[in-house]
Amino acid sequence: MTSQAQPAVRSDEIKRLLDRKKDKMKFQLSHCMRCTLCAESCFLFKAHDKDPQYMPSYKVIHSLGKLYRRRGKVDRAFLESIKKIVWKNCVLCRRCYCPVGIDIPGMIAFARSICRSQGVHPDFEGDAQQSWL
């Protein structure tokens, strides 16, 4: 039986969600100056030898940013790749500071909602076994 197979991603629904918060999300994405000043304020970035992957702006650009750029036309594999960024690489502690005022945790939380709308979310039975750092 193929009942295990995941349903196809509903791009139109993702698009609708993206449009709903276009004002705050898309505008903020386009006004991120790519200056990395937010990096130092994220403890996960510091805990990973300043690995760029853990910079707040990197996490947003490579999750929500890509969703907007592709206008929601993504597949499940793509959402799975985002899953790691928005759940594992950010704990939504809201400590990041951006001089332009870009609300990184708000955007990461929104990317999580979009993943969840398509049934993509951490499976706490399996994922919780891994180290969070």
CA-wise closest residue to 104 among 30, 29, 12:
29
b/e sequence 110-127, b meaning 16+ C-beta within 10 Å: bbbebbebbebebeeeee
Q: Which of 10, 16, 24, 46 binds another protein (CB under 8 A)?
A: 24
Please select the residue that binds ligand SF4; options are 18, 25, 32, 67, rule is CB under 6 A. 32
Q: Which H or E element spans position 62? A: none
Query: Kindly report the CA angle at 55 between 64 and 51, in degrees rounded to 5?
Result: 130
Question: Binding string, 43-62, against ligand SF4, x = CB under 6 A?
Answer: -x-----------xx-x---
**Up-side HSE of residue 5: CA atoms within 13 Å toward CB?**
6
Residue 74-113 contact track with ligand SF4, rule CB under 6 A, x = bound: ----------------xxxxxxx-xxx-x-xx--------
Shortest gap between Cβ of 36 and ligand HEM (angstroms)? 8
Q: How far is the CB of 27 from ligand SF4 (least distance, A)?
A: 13
Task: Name which of 9 and 107 has its Cβ closer to ligand SF4.
Answer: 107
Token readout for 74 is 């993504």
CB of 63 to another protein, least distance (A): 13
Q: How far is the CB of 97 from ligand SF4 (least distance, A)?
A: 7
Looking from the CA of 34 toward its CB, the CA atoms found within 13 Å total: 4
